Amino acid sequence: MPTTYLEAIREGLWEEMERDPNVFLIGEDIGVYGGAFKVTAGFLEKFGEKRVVDTPISESAIVGASIGAALMGLRAVAEMQFSDFISCAFDQIVNFAAKCRYRWNAPVPIVIRAPSGGGIHGGPFHSQNPEMWFVRTPGLKVVAPATAYDAKGLIKSAVRANDPVLFFEHKGLYRRIREDLPAGEYTVPLGKAKVARQGRDLSIITYGAMVWTAIEAAETLAREGIEVEVLDLRTLSPLDRDAVCGTARKTAKVLLLHEDTQTGGLAGELAATLTERVWEHLDGPIVRVTAPDTPIPFSPPLEEAFLPSAQKVVEKARWLHKY
Please identify every residue annotated as catalytic: 126
Distances (CA, A) of 63 to 52, 71, 85, 158, 174: 15, 12, 12, 16, 24
Look at residue 55 in the predicted model and tell me its pLDDT: 97
Other C-beta atoms closer than 10 Å to the C-beta of 63 total 26
Per-residue pLDDT of the chain (323 residues; tens, 9 = 90+): 899 999 999 999 999 999 999 999 999 999 999 999 999 999 999 999 999 999 999 999 999 999 999 999 999 999 999 999 999 999 999 999 999 999 999 999 999 999 999 999 999 999 999 999 999 999 999 999 999 999 999 999 999 999 999 999 999 999 999 999 999 999 999 999 999 999 999 999 999 999 999 999 999 999 999 999 999 999 999 999 999 999 999 999 999 999 999 999 999 999 999 999 999 999 999 999 999 999 999 999 999 999 999 999 999 999 999 99
Chain centroid, CA 280 distance in Å: 31
For the domain 194-322, what is the CATH code? 3.40.50.920
The CATH architecture to which 3-179 belongs is 3-Layer(aba) Sandwich (3.40)
Contacts of 146 (CB under 8 A, 6+ apart): 170, 173, 177, 196, 207, 208, 209, 210, 211, 212, 232, 234
* 3-179 and 194-322: identical CATH topology: yes
Which residue from 158, 233, 227 is spatially nearest to 195, judged by alpha carbons?
A: 233
Other C-beta atoms closer than 10 Å to the C-beta of 287 total 18
Chain centroid, CA 322 distance in Å: 32
Look at residue 142 in the predicted model and tell me its pLDDT: 98
Other C-beta atoms closer than 10 Å to the C-beta of 49 total 10
Residue ranges covered by each domain of the chain: 3-179, 194-322
Give the dihedral of Cα atoms 49, 63, 298, 204; nearest 10 deg. Answer: -110
Q: CA-to-CA distance for 13 and 29, rounded, in angstroms?
A: 17
